[in-house]
Amino acid sequence: MKASARSRRTPRTRTSRKRHWTRLSDAELLHVRFCELDISLQRSPLQPYLDQLNDELQRAGIEFRPHLWLSEEWFSPDGVPGIAVPFYLAHPRLRRLERRMMREVEGGNANWLMRILRHEAGHALDTAYRLRHRRRWREVFGPASLPYPDSYRPRAGSRRFVQHLGAWYAQCHPTEDFAETFAVWLRPNAHWRRVYRNWPALEKLEYVDELMSELRGTHPRVRQRRLVEPISGDQRTLGEHYRDRLSRHAAGRARVVDTMLRRSFQVRSAGTPQHVRAATYIRSLKTALRRNIANRLDVSEYLVHQVLRLILHRCDVLRLQLRCAPRYARSRVERLVLRIARLHVDGSAGRHTL
């Protein structure tokens, strides 16, 4: 008997279909490339907030409208009057991954999102009208040509700068000072004259108010709409992205980590008893540490894995070893790794890394 066409067909099984990235686990999603995400601003929950930004600019009498696109992080490129918006804000699944990996979602609520958009719009406006080239702009904010620092130590009590994004961000560079001041000025019902009364920062706000009156109804001088580092052409995986970000966070805390490691271990030298190397011992516990600490801190195992990589590297560089026999060291090592992981997750005071 001849087999029917239906019986000759290879049955489609669930395993033969490629699952959509939104249904992948965190570990699987980290292997997805940015260009495979198929997300856009127009189809995202962000669109109402982008419309709100344009409405605020319109009410302020500003002709300029920044163009926006999805990228890996927030930024407004030099020479391009636009705003790159981080990919994770475009889809709830990516927000969940961002929170799991970094413990927060920058711009993850309406108030925070609009604060960042106004700030980045200030950068884009500066580029569009070439404001930083004006003599008065340089007198008020300082020269934009100053080197951009890798980190800064803010003066928390200073009233020479507005307070907008937190961490006294306006203090790190003249261009950030302008963007923060513009953001405060643009916010509806900000009452900045009352809030900053008797502050030296009021002079900056009054200058921005005067400058925006001058620009009212004028067209921007720079109009190009180039997309810089869009995710549509980004071949990197999400895992590579988060590995780089976590490494940058770890680098800013390496000195503190070194101090904690030296207190718990001892330097391997000719004059000390020879015990097991600290890195060797931690590697033997790595799987259990990664799982247990991820559960205790409610973070991704990938994040803990990056913290362990930092600890192992510093133990090797510092030539550290256990102070006692391995059977007595486990609980102490677990507490140490937990403290370092918590430091990495929660951040630290002092200098702010950019």
Residue 200: the pLDDT is 96
**d(C-alpha 330, C-alpha 327), whole Å:** 7
* Terminal Cα distance for the chain, rounded: 74
Identify the pLDDT of residue 199.
Answer: 94
pLDDT at residue 115, as a whole number: 96
β-bridge pairing 151-152 and 352-353: antiparallel
In the chain, where do the E strands start and end? Answer: 67-71, 82-86, 151-152, 266-267, 320-321, 352-353
Q: What value, to the nearest 5°, has the Cα angle with vertex 268 and ends 267 and 273?
A: 110
Distance of CA 30 to the CA centre of its chain: 17
Q: Does residue 320 contact residue 265 with C-beta atoms inside 8 Å?
A: yes
Residue with tokens 């990516």: 94
| 56 CB-near residues (< 8 Å, 6+ apart) | 118, 186, 187, 188
Sequence ranges of the domains in the chain:
21-233, 252-353
CB 70 within 8 A of CB 85: yes
Q: In this structure, are strands 320-321 and 266-267 parallel, antiparallel, or unpaired?
A: antiparallel
**What is the pLDDT at residue 346?**
63
Residue 251 confidence (pLDDT): 64
Beta bridge partners of residue 237, listed in sequence order: 33
CB 141 within 8 A of CB 162: no
- CA-to-CA distance for 330 and 326, rounded, in angstroms? 7
pLDDT for 272 equals: 67
DSSP-derived 3-state class of residue 274: coil
Q: Which residues contact 265 (CB under 8 A, 6 or more apart)?
A: 278, 315, 320, 321, 322, 323
Q: Report residue 33: phi and psi, to 5°.
A: -85, 150
Name the nearest CA neighbour of 176 among 164, 187, 185, 193.
164
CB 179 within 8 A of CB 126: yes
pTM over 0.75: no
Q: In the numeric block, which tokens belong to residue 246? A: 């976590």
Beta-ladder partners of 82:
67
pLDDT tens digits, the chain, 354 residues: what are they? 444 444 444 444 343 346 799 999 999 999 999 999 999 998 899 999 999 999 999 999 999 999 999 999 999 999 999 999 999 999 999 999 999 888 789 999 999 999 999 999 999 999 999 999 999 999 999 999 998 877 777 776 788 999 898 778 899 999 999 999 999 999 999 999 999 999 999 999 999 999 999 999 899 999 989 999 999 999 999 999 999 888 777 666 677 888 899 999 998 877 667 789 999 999 999 999 999 998 998 877 877 887 898 899 889 888 999 988 888 889 989 999 998 888 776 654 334 444
